[in-house]
Structure 1
Amino acid sequence: MKLKNLFTAALLCTSYLLIAQNEEVRDLGQVVVTGTRMEIPIEKSGKTIYTISAADIEKSGGRSVADLLNLVPGLQVDGNFGTPGTNLEYYVRGARSRYTLILIDGVPMNDPTAISLFYDLRLLSANQVESIEILKGGVSALYGSNAAAGVINIKLKQAKDEKLGGSLDANTGSFGSFGASGNLNGKTEKFNYFVSGSHKSVKGFSAAEDTDDDPNTQFDEDSYESQNALVKLGYDFDDAFSIDVLTGYDRFSADFDAFAFTDDPTNNSENSQFRIGITPKFKYNKGTLKLNALYNNSEREFKGSFPFTYKGNNLQVDLTNELVFTDYIKGIFGLNLQQLEDNSEGQMADFTIFDPFASFVFETKDGMNLHFGLRLNTHSNYENRLVATVNPSWLIALGNDHKLKPFASLSSSYNTPSLYQINNDFYGNKNLLPEETINMETGVSFYAQQNLTLNFAFFNRNEQNTIDFVSQFDGGGNFIGGSYVNLAATRNVKGIEFDFDWKFSQKASVFGNLSNLATDRDDLFFRIPKQKFGLGVDYAPTKSSSARISYNYTGERRISSFSEDKLDAYGLVDLALRQKFMSSKFSIYGSINNVLDTNYVGILGFTTIGRNFTFGVSMDF
């Protein structure tokens, strides 16, 4: 009830401020791609798309990609409040990580060696990221398997218009953290380039929670270190034909404790990926033909009590032809090839996916829009499967530059089992079937004088053939094994989401969000909060200074599938500041996270970070 009252009070206060103060018009003509695979204004998109802009990243005060995503309504990142090397899981609308597909510049980044194929966000440096689009709902018709609950499209930085430019950044903070990054970029008439590199190290603290007060038996510090390098080159042969190439290397090393409340000073993991890609593009009369090919090699090595090495290869080839039929109809036709290989010790496995797909957008003069998508999945291990999505919306002009947009969506999606779930010698099951989901969503968006945005959505997801690990125990209750199986029972998840963003004066804005989930299978809903709430204020007293303060509440979470006990809810206050000098070329910034030093539990038996700070300097040239 206190939470509800706080939220109501915030809405009333900001409503008053919106009416009482002079407003600076802000452009909401943002263009998004993820919802249809074609560029359309966000006001005409009938999907729930949440964007983290370059300005949001700058205002965050040096936060990681995982930290940024955890602030998105309806998205929970598990593990980001522990040591920097803690394993991360991301839950969109109550779905496990395998239901959410990570894209980098529109290309799926599946890890063939991961249990559920999901991408490890610890490999990505926030210094390389320009913006992030989070698309919620089933979108397998657009992006294939592992997109049953949503897609996170991470867009990397690109060359600016100057012939030579760049930036440098250095920061330090709590627990012996130090980071440095830089990039060079530029454009000529035909050539463009972007080269970046970064390094981060953290002395850290114990990953496992130490409940013994004896100073002679303190747990050791679990450290973290990462390096990232990226090169992007492009050449425009003429107005019609261009080629972009990229290569990147990402690596991190992290100490970890494998079990709750238990120290293990010998455990260490080293994760790395090398990727290389090419994107030729040809524009013609009313269309664009584009090939996007990326090869990714990944390796994960675990040292310590249970040493093991995982190696995998991922080839992604996407051929698309985007056509503008009329001023009101456009579409995209494509072929997607995925070849995933797991070359880990004692395990050689692979599969191939080849999907034709199509996506169409229909518009009318009076603001009605319809998106329709279709995809045929052809998997080397399974029968062909057809999935579809239909997504109507209507942008209604209310006068006085106010707009209302009701929208709805109905989609079918699927998840094919991973190489690990099928082929692992100990836990694999070659009889697994693909998971199937039906997603329904309806909602409304409201835009007022380009200063206020309100979004409300209700969603319902039905899951069938859900894959889960079923453990086996002997008569004494001792674990003796288990395997991945398709659960006989279906699972339903439904919920509501609300977010708003009001710029109520030339210097200040307020933003907030609320999400609430419900499910009929609580045993599959562990470590996922049913309620999340956030409220924040941006304040810029001058054009060269900014401040952001935010409060984020995370509700109770069930500890595990075996226990109905729950972790307590908690709320965190964060503060970030930035001051620019020299015509905004030079900046100093800082942040204090968990300002009130709140004591809370993220994962039972493991440490969470208390009050911590970051201080940094950056320079653009």
Structure 2
Amino acid sequence: MSYRHILLGAAAFTLTLPVLAQTSEDTETHLDTITVEGSRLGQTQAEIGSSVSIITEEDIDQLGFDFALDAVASAPGVTINQNGSFGGNASVRIRGASSGQTLVLIDGVPVNDPSGTDGGYNFAFMDTDNIERIEVLKGPQSTLWGSDAIGGVVSITTKTPEPGLGGTVFGEYGSFNTFRGGASVGGANDTGDFRLSASRIDTDGISKADEANGNTEEDGYESSTLSARGGLNLANNIRLDSGVMWNDAESEYDSYSGTAQGSVADGDEVTKNETLSSHVALTVPLFDDRFVNEIMIGYSDISRKNYTNGVNSYEADGDRTIYRYQGTFTINDANKLAFGAEREETTANDEDAAIDGLFALYEFKPVEKLTLTGGVRVDDHDKFGSETTGRAAAAYTANDQLTLRASWGQGFKAPSIFQSTYICTFCGLSDPNPNLKPETSEAFDLGFDWQSANGKTKAGVTYFDQETENMIDFSYTAGYDNIALVNSKGVEVYGSHQFTDWLGVSANYAYIDAEDGDGAELPRLPENSGDVTISLTPEGPFSGAVLVRYNGEEANTTGTTLDSWTRVDLTGSYNIDDRLELYARIENLFDEDYQQILGYGTPGLSGSVGVKLRY
């Protein structure tokens, strides 16, 4: 790993440490003013037009999610697959798109693995302790974010400090001899802000290969995360912001066995992963803040080493550097324009690629209740040429209770470095496939959001239809080739009702009908899935929640079917005072025996207890 990039990400941060001696007054934040950062136009959910789910820090705390993977799974239309718990390889799919077609951002920096087969992101190691918000933008977002955003975007925002100086310390212990703990310190005033945090998890784990199949060996997991974020508020509302997040993880896993269920059984396998993401950004407003200019340099690096019986069996390293400029000009209340340029350079195992992008987005409000958005982007890949994508969206607030929305978009994904350089020698080939070309997609969605006059009841429905062409898959005649097609359509539904000041219920459901070009059901993708959450917040120190998660039956890659499952989790917390909190979580309350992937086990009835101190 090149540590000069860590210094780049931390340089501006270190400037903030000496200037935080005084505090500023608290400011109030209203949910209806929170913008969707992934929209690149600073739009609210009522203005963006397309479907987006936002998972807040409060949501994560209420449901006790330790891993970002579980938090992302709470968004309708999102499917997760993990090769066993505690460090097993974990992928996220949006509306049936593959993991490699889901772009993952951390503070605006792409972090997908350039050395992976399809360039997907492994969610196995991301802890929630440093996450402030997760946005899931569904459908093609290439006009906004370029290649890899062909199926959707998961945009993760890390925590920023509250005014004043303070922090937290927490520790918890649970089943499988699992310890998780961490600490943070931060401060903010009119001059600047900073936040430092560290977290750690150690567990004996469970067998990655299902114990029900006779696999008794525990597969341990350990992971450490360090992060730093800071900013300086300069003259004329100019701001310098930077951040670094580093993770080091080691996970035991099981071996290939052709005779076992799912072809996996106990074995001595270990993977060691080191990941880094960092950024430096300068924001310069002009013309009374109507013209905001942002320049950012971002860097991410992922290195992996696998060991079999203690011997190094595989290793890979990939990194990407992104250079970005965006200008956002608010012409007047009815017109806003955003435009910019990006360059992304990636390397993986001594191979490299680069892509340059130009984009323009326009927001038009002919009347106060109607928001129209359009955009176009041109990306030029150094090996696969140019691709142009477009996007259009409309949102109409009919009244204080009802918002109608619709969007259409195109996406593209350049072949990964692995796919474009792979030589299938056992196929009789001596060169990579010279005819490989980018995957493309086109989709639309229609929906509405409604709330009652008193705001206690909310509901929404979205219908989507997406087609992805020239999908890359393995072929015994050409290696990796554009031989696949996927059609995906379905419905996402959510609703909530606040019965009293202390009792509320929310639910979401997704139906996804995804087929390949031959009409076959896509594997590892349930047609039906959903969550129900009951929130308990009575007056006093106690609060709690019940989460019921359902995953319908799904096809295996073997042609068999994986059974549906329902899991119930409980969380509760007790505030001893304003600073000290006790909390607990019970997972899989009814000890459901289920698999996410054929042959891989999941935890039965388990739990943890913890304490958190705020200072």
Scaled by the length of structure 2, what TM-score is found?
0.89
Matches within 5 A, 1:71-110: 71-79=74-82, 82-110=84-112
Q: Can you list the C-alpha shifts for 1:288-341, whole angstroms capped at 9, x where unaligned?
A: 111121122221001116711101221012111111000121121111111000
Q: 1:208 to 1:506 in 2, by over 3 A?
A: same
- Structure 1 runs of 4+ off > 6 angstroms? none
Corresponding position of 2:246: 249
1:225 Cα deviation from its structure 2 partner: 0.3
CA distance in 1, matches of 2:604, 2:433: 42
Contact 2:109/2:278, CA 8 A, preserved across alignment: no
Corresponding position of 2:9: none
Corresponding position of 1:477: none
Structure 1 vs Structure 2 CA RMSD:
1.9
1:602 Cα deviation from its structure 2 partner: 1.6
Unmatched 5+ stretches in structure 2: 1-28, 426-431
CA distance in 1, matches of 2:237, 2:291: 10
1:407 is aligned to 2:413: no
Contact 2:515/2:521, CA 8 A, preserved across alignment: no
1:490 Cα deviation from its structure 2 partner: 3.4
Contact 2:109/2:277, CA 8 A, preserved across alignment: no
Secondary structure class of the residue paired with 2:143: helix
1:38 Cα deviation from its structure 2 partner: 2.2
Corresponding position of 2:193: 192
Corresponding position of 1:512: 507
Q: 1:587 to 1:538 in 2, by over 3 A?
A: same
CA distance in 1, matches of 2:577, 2:422: 58
What is the one-letter code of the residue matched to 1:350?
D
CA distance in 2, matches of 1:27, 1:187: 20
What is the one-letter code of the residue matched to 1:597?
D
Corresponding position of 1:156: 158
CA distance in 1, matches of 2:444, 2:65: 36
Corresponding position of 1:7: none
CA distance in 2, matches of 1:555, 1:515: 10
Which has the higher mean CA deviation after the structures are superposed, 246-255 or 500-509? 500-509
Query: Which residue of the other structure, out of 462, 466, 473, is the alignment partner of 2:467?
Result: 462
Corresponding position of 2:69: 66
Secondary structure class of the residue paired with 1:181: strand
Secondary structure class of the residue paired with 2:570: strand
CA distance in 2, matches of 1:97, 1:193: 33
Matches within 5 A, 1:540-551: 540-551=537-548
CA distance in 1, matches of 2:102, 2:598: 24
1:155 Cα deviation from its structure 2 partner: 0.7
CA distance in 2, matches of 1:142, 1:543: 45
Matches within 5 A, 1:323-342: 323-342=329-348
Q: 1:443 to 1:272 in 2, by over 3 A?
A: same
CA distance in 2, matches of 1:580, 1:349: 53
Contact 1:335/1:355, CA 8 A, preserved across alignment: yes
Corresponding position of 1:320: 326
1:501 is aligned to 2:496: yes
Corresponding position of 2:381: 379
1:264 Cα deviation from its structure 2 partner: 4.5
Secondary structure class of the residue paired with 2:210: coil
Q: Can you list the C-alpha shifts for 1:548-584, whole angstroms capped at 9, x where unaligned?
A: 1121111111010xx331011111111111111222x
What is the one-letter code of the residue matched to 2:98?
R
Contact 1:423/1:430, CA 8 A, preserved across alignment: no
1:187 Cα deviation from its structure 2 partner: 1.5
Corresponding position of 2:560: 565
Contact 2:111/2:277, CA 8 A, preserved across alignment: no
Matches within 5 A, 1:365-376: 365-376=367-378
1:394 is aligned to 2:396: yes
Which has the higher mean CA deviation after the structures are superposed, 60-69 or 320-329? 60-69
Q: 1:394 to 1:226 in 2, by over 3 A?
A: same
Secondary structure class of the residue paired with 1:167: strand
CA distance in 2, matches of 1:596, 1:30: 40
What is the one-letter code of the residue matched to 2:207?
S
1:247 Cα deviation from its structure 2 partner: 2.4
Scaled by the length of structure 1, what TM-score is found?
0.88
CA distance in 2, matches of 1:322, 1:588: 45
Q: 1:403 to 1:255 in 2, by over 3 A?
A: same
Which has the higher mean CA deviation after the structures are superposed, 427-436 or 240-249? 427-436
Corresponding position of 2:435: 431
Contact 1:36/1:359, CA 8 A, preserved across alignment: no
1:36 Cα deviation from its structure 2 partner: 2.3
Contact 1:546/1:577, CA 8 A, preserved across alignment: yes
Count of aligned residue pairs for this structure pair: 569
1:253 Cα deviation from its structure 2 partner: 0.3
CA distance in 2, matches of 1:35, 1:158: 18
1:448 Cα deviation from its structure 2 partner: 1.9
What is the one-letter code of the residue matched to 2:281?
T
1:250 Cα deviation from its structure 2 partner: 0.8
Matches within 5 A, 1:194-343: 194-210=195-211, 219-259=216-256, 261=260, 262-285=264-287, 286-304=290-308, 307-343=313-349
1:52 is aligned to 2:50: no
1:51 Cα deviation from its structure 2 partner: 0.9
CA distance in 2, matches of 1:430, 1:209: 41
What is the one-letter code of the residue matched to 1:458?
Y
Contact 1:516/1:532, CA 8 A, preserved across alignment: yes
What is the one-letter code of the residue matched to 2:513?
A
Contact 1:62/1:591, CA 8 A, preserved across alignment: no
Q: Can you list the C-alpha shifts for 1:188-237, whole angstroms capped at 9, x where unaligned?
A: 33121110111111111211124566xxxx63211000001011121112
1:471 Cα deviation from its structure 2 partner: 5.2
CA distance in 2, matches of 1:451, 1:27: 17
Secondary structure class of the residue paired with 2:86: coil
Q: Can you list the C-alpha shifts for 1:404-463, whole angstroms capped at 9, x where unaligned?
A: 111111111111110011112448534211011111111111122333321101111111
CA distance in 1, matches of 2:90, 2:476: 23
Unmatched 5+ stretches in structure 1: 1-25, 473-481
What is the one-letter code of the residue matched to 1:290?
E
Q: 1:364 to 1:510 in 2, by over 3 A?
A: farther
Secondary structure class of the residue paired with 2:538: strand
Corresponding position of 1:453: 458
Corresponding position of 2:17: none
1:496 Cα deviation from its structure 2 partner: 0.7
